[in-house]
A = this chain, B = another copy of it.
């Protein structure tokens, strides 16, 4: 870490000391207080305002998703280490007593559990694709969601969360419709962050595909410019954090879920998501832990009616 760089641990301690986050016993899982939540809701309002004339349908999906969907979209092939598959107890009374004894004697009890039909949802867009099966209208489709997602990557680094919320948009249509929409939002995303005095930079990116084969997939994704991110310094000035992510899937989901355009071709899709907690943390890192002391321009944009969360 250079002398001019931020200090991840100090930032985490600052969030905790200000009461903005409440640590629990596990890294990457923590409570958010009223001020944190207010800033998150106001940032989300800004995103809604940008999209207000686009006609996107709004949905909320639960934090858990049909396991069959993750299997179909190859999530377990590409990111098995990040998955969160839900197990429960399917046994009878005697086995339940053995389970209790194991737990209270501090011994492993994994063998008592069985796999359920659901997993945690690792990407805000996944639940909606199966609903597109069929032929989309000529203008395509546009959906927005606010979903909790899960990634199994426990870390003391505050922006590396296991559970967080994403404000997501998904576009379905022809290649031209999808790419034009993605390019428009890339500009919108940077402009929104800049309007909040955040030093935002777009960049080509890749997903953290698993293993050696994954390195090749990531290189190909980068080469084809299928993924972009907008980066803002949060825990490091030199390695800014992705707060907004844009994925162009070409016909991947169209193939898997049999989605067609009016001319009978496989529909293409793209999605973008604002990592809401990361956007909030970028604001706290840049402007300080007390929203009451943020620059007037930022406060009046987030709280147009004059109340700050502080």
Q: Give residues in A with beta carbon < 8 Å to B.
A: 22, 24-26, 29-34, 37, 57-69, 71, 76-77, 80-93, 96, 99-100, 103, 108-110, 112-118, 120, 127-128, 130-131, 148, 150, 152, 154, 162-164, 210-213
- Inter-chain contact B77/A88, CB cutoff 8 Å: no
- Inter-chain contact B116/A84, CB cutoff 8 Å: yes
Q: Which residues of B contact A69 (CB under 8 A)?
A: 24-25
Q: Which residues of B contact A76 (CB under 8 A)?
A: 89, 99-100, 103, 109
A6 to B49 CA separation, bound complex (whole angstroms) = 41
Chain A interface, >50% SS class: mixed
- Inter-chain contact B117/A154, CB cutoff 8 Å: yes
- Inter-chain contact B64/A120, CB cutoff 8 Å: yes
Closest to A36 in B: B60
Number of copies: 2
Closest to A94 in B: B211
- Inter-chain contact B118/A66, CB cutoff 8 Å: no
- Inter-chain contact B152/A25, CB cutoff 8 Å: no
CB contact under 8 A between A115 and B118, given known A65-B24, A86-B152: no
A-B contact pairs, 16 of them (CB 8 A): A24-B127, A29-B62, A29-B66, A32-B61, A34-B59, A62-B148, A62-B162, A64-B150, A76-B89, A77-B99, A81-B89, A84-B87, A86-B152, A87-B87, A88-B152, A92-B211
- Shortest C-beta distance, A108 to chain B (Å), equals 8
A154 to B64 CA separation, bound complex (whole angstroms) = 12
Closest to A210 in B: B96
Closest to A151 in B: B88
Q: Which single member of B31, B34, B83 contacts A89 (CB below 8 Å)?
A: B83
